[in-house]
Amino acid sequence: MKIQRRSLWWLAVAGIAPAWAGSYEDFFAAIQRDDASTITALLQRGFDPNTRDPKGQVGLTLALQAGTLKAFHALMQARNLQVEARNAEDESPLMMAALRGHVDAVRALIARDADINKTGWTPLHYAATGTQPQQPEIIALLLEHHAFIDAASPNGTTPLMMAVHYGTRESVQLLLKEGADPSLKNQLGLGAADFALRASRKDMADMIAAAIRQRQPNRGRW
């Protein structure tokens, strides 16, 4: 009874008409089981693809989190889809696609004018953080579409810092090759090498040190 009352309360808060109550539950269940046909049928009946679940997540982001890509592509067919819908953490669907390594989803969202250089944490930060084999391809794709390579988070953390702490060696190598600045520090005074050492990734710290030396070949010489 408590669960039912909670659902009814959320439907009222979210502005969901009682007639759509069953459809609301069907919609999110279909996303979780990757049921594109049910989603398409609901959208054709007029169900809002931008509807949020009780935690404030839109279906597009949930599909990317769950890796239910048939559901994702079904949602992308909706003309009134808001591809920039953010959750409570200010995460966009493009950020989630970049983190999870969904290359085709990243391409599709960019084609729908998803914001590549949003204020704060960016899709490039998330791409650099991911650990899937597709991360370098996604990083390259974002840079190709003019992502700021040294984009600063609210505390000044760059994608390179995230890559050396969480990401793959290939992601770090690509960011450095494309011109990421290894000498930058965030508002806490931490640089990429510090991020690597905090994650006990000495190989990454050595890579950063080498990149800094390469940028300053004559430092310390007279």
Question: Would you write out the chain's pLDDT as a tens digit for each of its 222 residues?
Answer: 444 444 544 444 455 454 454 688 999 999 999 999 999 999 999 999 999 999 999 999 999 999 999 999 999 999 999 999 999 999 999 999 999 999 999 999 999 999 999 999 999 999 999 999 999 999 999 999 999 999 999 999 999 999 999 999 999 999 999 999 999 999 999 999 999 999 999 999 999 999 999 987 665 444
Q: What is the pLDDT of residue 217?
A: 63
How many Å apart are CA 117 and CA 144, to the nearest integer?
12
Q: What is the pLDDT of residue 215?
A: 84
How many Å apart are CA 23 and CA 16, to the nearest integer?
10
Q: What is the pLDDT of residue 10?
A: 47
Q: Encode burial over 81-112: b for 16+ CB neighbours within 10 A, e otherwise.
A: bebebbbeeebbbbbbbbbbbbeebbebbbee
Taking alpha carbons only, the member of 178, 109, 105, 110 closest to residue 140 is 178
SS3 109: helix
- Report all structural domains of the chain as residue ranges with CATH numbers, in order of start: 1-82 (1.25.40), 92-222 (1.25.40.20)
Length of the chain counted residue by residue: 222
Separation of first and last alpha carbons in the chain: 79
**pTM exceeds 0.85 for this model:** yes
Q: Is 119 exposed, middle or buried (0-12, 13-18, 19+ CB in 10 A)?
A: exposed
How many Å apart are CA 172 and CA 163, to the nearest integer?
6
